[in-house]
Structure 1
Amino acid sequence: MIDTVAFHRALRRRLVPVLAAVACCATLPAAAQNTAAPWPAKPIRLVVGFAAGGPTDVVARAFAEHAARALGQPVIVDNKPGANTILAAEAVAQAPADGHTLLLGATNHTMIPALYAARVKFDAVKSFAPVCTLASSPTVLVVGPAMQARTLGAFVQAVRAQPGARTYGTPGVGSSGHFATEEFLRSQGLSMNHVPYKGAAPVVTDLMGGQLDSSLATLGSVLAQVEAGKLTALAIGSSKRSALLPQVPTFAEAGVPGFTAEAWYGLLAPAGTPPAVLDALEKVARQFAQSPALTSRLQSLGLEPQSTCRDAFGAGMAREVATYGRLAQALQLKVE
């Protein structure tokens, strides 16, 4: 006969440790949520809102090579041009905030709210977690053979003598060149005729051909022509002279203090990306800006490595959104 009392006592002794283990295991999913998953766990997608070959794409591909070596995962550049970079920014804003989808944005990112308020489905600042700027490009005021001025002072006098008659070209309405030129003209009480193009290349062509008087262009887009003597650079929109054009004064040196105009190229992640991932990305971005080999590569294209990161980067973006909003309202600019 089986002693049932003894049997149940023995069974309870064996089950208590088992049930305790089960209860412990039941808490594992919650604990696992507090443990950061390995990152990156797969290839990283770096979205660019421009076609291949432009300055934003050049910075993206240089950074992708550097980041892939640093992180041990491929970083794939995904060119997604269209709608003045809205499509690219929207894709990243809606992507999972896990650090595997990033945006290589540029200055025009902060112009989008002023120009496309009814169309944009994201906030240019709040929908993203700023990581770091990677590079910048000063703009330079250049003139072609149609404009005889060889100094900024002479240029201002020539424009003032013929209000609204002289022309300036930009890559398009609402482009960084458009905003920067109008900001300069307003600061000097000047008026010029804006001629928008579809891209920077035709602006340079018409400048050299004498069909256009001037352009406030990114340094990289006109560097070769200035060095060849086909265009004349009057002033550079940075806080100090460029090593690539050391003979060209800054606007402040040429008599217009307080005016700067630089394009930035920076790394953004979707809002909500884990701080640990942002920390890792910031480290890689800072290493990128400090690499002598990459510095030389970027400078040859008229770009300067730069690393303004996290809160400072985000605050700068917010200031630009406000500035461009006021300027767009004053100019009655709206693109829908």
Structure 2
Amino acid sequence: MNTTSLKASGLLAAAVFGLAAGAPDARAQPPAYPTKPVRLVVGFSAGGPTDVVARAFADYAARTLGQPFLVDNKPGANTILAAEAVAGAPADGYTLLLGATNHTMIPALYSSRVKFDAVRSFAPVCSLAVSPTVLVVGPSMKVPDLATFLQQVKAAPGQRTYATPGAGSSGHFASEQFTRLTGTRMNHIPYKGAAQAVTDLVGGQVDSSFATLGSVLPQVQAGKLTALAVAAPQRSPLLPQVPTFDEAGVKGYRADAWYGLLAPAGTSPAVLALLQKTAQDFVRQSATQEKLRGLGMESQHVCGADFGEQLAREVKAYGQLARELDLKPE
């Protein structure tokens, strides 16, 4: 073989070797995400605060990432069905959970029944919004302020009622925290969702509710419900005339509700990073902030490990409270 042939053979071999060496790297590159529709599971019926946040995020994510984000309402069992569906889904970023505060309350009441871990079965993406709890009364309990409310509750232990979206819900825990702090007793009336609870509250079938501001704001603004106090460090700009619990005489009572995005555990860091960026960009939009304020919420983005630590703290705190109060699902 002449020199020219040897050179040509060497160049060919080098080229083939280069292609072979480069092939594994090419195969190792993750595929683009998303390349198909993404399912966003919500554990509540359409129309509630969690659903509204989910649809707003889904619309933004679809426009930003170029694939549909389809909201899948899967109510039932205090959001356990929705959480199970996501925890058991492939960790590929195509099934996500838009969860709320009650996600971290599930272990306190249902630890022996659920097939997932509220923290370890999920990869935390970001919180998106937060809403304070507000104590509201309906026409069956006409009281002008928190002091009068407490007088009536203490005068009839266990007889005054409070409505919640269900046993083990954020409203249930917020109510129990309040009665514990004030040394009062009330009768818990659980419903299957916030909408039903608010309907009966407006209709006079129940006396009161410790509800997220977003779930009762329209009725308060319309004069159908009376807000007595807000469980937040400062007054809500949407209800500037309503005092905080601290101002009204019940010190140290706070009950925020968060709404956030979770993925199945094991989802790749690259997908999580893209979802985090999308979530952060979403909450920074002026249109998002305006929409959330109209629902009694504020935008919020606690992401990644920080969000995960928040979930773990809440699971521990709610578990302790449930044991101390001997709370059980009803």
TM-score by length of 2: 0.90
CA offset digits 1:203-227 (Å, max 9, x no partner): 3333334332211112122222222
Match of 1:178 among 172, 177, 199: 172
Find the counterpart in structure 1 of residue 101 from structure 2.
107
Shift of 1:110: 0.9
Match of 2:52 among 58, 66, 88: 58
1:72 aligns with 2:66: yes
CA distance in 2, matches of 1:144, 1:132: 35
- If you compute each CA radius of gyration, which structure gives the higher value, 1 or 2? 1
Match of 2:148 among 143, 154, 174: 154
1:305 aligns with 2:304: no
Alpha carbons of structure 1 residues 206 and 35: separation in structure 2 relative to 1, 3 Å: closer
Find the counterpart in structure 2 of residue 187 from structure 1.
181
Find the counterpart in structure 1 of residue 118 from structure 2.
124
Shift of 1:37: 2.5
Shift of 1:324: 1.5
TM-score by length of 1: 0.89
Alpha carbons of structure 1 residues 93 and 25: separation in structure 2 relative to 1, 3 Å: farther
Would you say the 8 A contact 2:48–2:215 is kept in 1? no
Find the counterpart in structure 2 of residue 200 from structure 1.
194
CA distance in 2, matches of 1:138, 1:328: 21
1:98 aligns with 2:92: yes
Find the counterpart in structure 2 of residue 262 from structure 1.
256
Find the counterpart in structure 2 of residue 217 from structure 1.
211
CA distance in 1, matches of 2:174, 2:73: 26
Would you say the 8 A contact 2:129–2:297 is kept in 1? yes
Judge which range, 139-148 or 183-192, deviates more: 139-148
CA distance in 1, matches of 2:164, 2:221: 21
Shift of 1:30: 3.9
Structure 1 counterpart of 2:216, one-letter code: V
* Partner SS for 1:173: coil
Structure 1 counterpart of 2:114, one-letter code: V
Structure 1 counterpart of 2:220, one-letter code: V
Unaligned runs of 5+ in 1: 1-5
Judge which range, 90-99 or 308-317, deviates more: 90-99
Structure 1 counterpart of 2:290, one-letter code: S
Match of 1:40 among 26, 34, 40: 34
Match of 1:89 among 73, 80, 83: 83
Shift of 1:239: 2.2
CA distance in 2, matches of 1:202, 1:18: 74
CA distance in 1, matches of 2:293, 2:252: 25
Match of 1:164 among 139, 151, 158: 158
Q: How many residues align?
A: 330
Alpha carbons of structure 1 residues 96 and 27: separation in structure 2 relative to 1, 3 Å: farther
**What pairs with 1:225-236 in structure 2 (closer than 5 Å)?**
225-236=219-230
Alpha carbons of structure 1 residues 12 and 81: separation in structure 2 relative to 1, 3 Å: farther
Shift of 1:267: 0.7
Judge which range, 53-62 or 79-88, deviates more: 79-88
CA distance in 1, matches of 2:58, 2:320: 35
Shift of 1:19: 5.7
Judge which range, 116-125 or 324-333, deviates more: 324-333
* Partner SS for 1:155: helix
Alpha carbons of structure 1 residues 225 and 271: separation in structure 2 relative to 1, 3 Å: same
Find the counterpart in structure 2 of residue 3 from structure 1.
none
Percent of residue pairs bearing the same amino acid type: 65
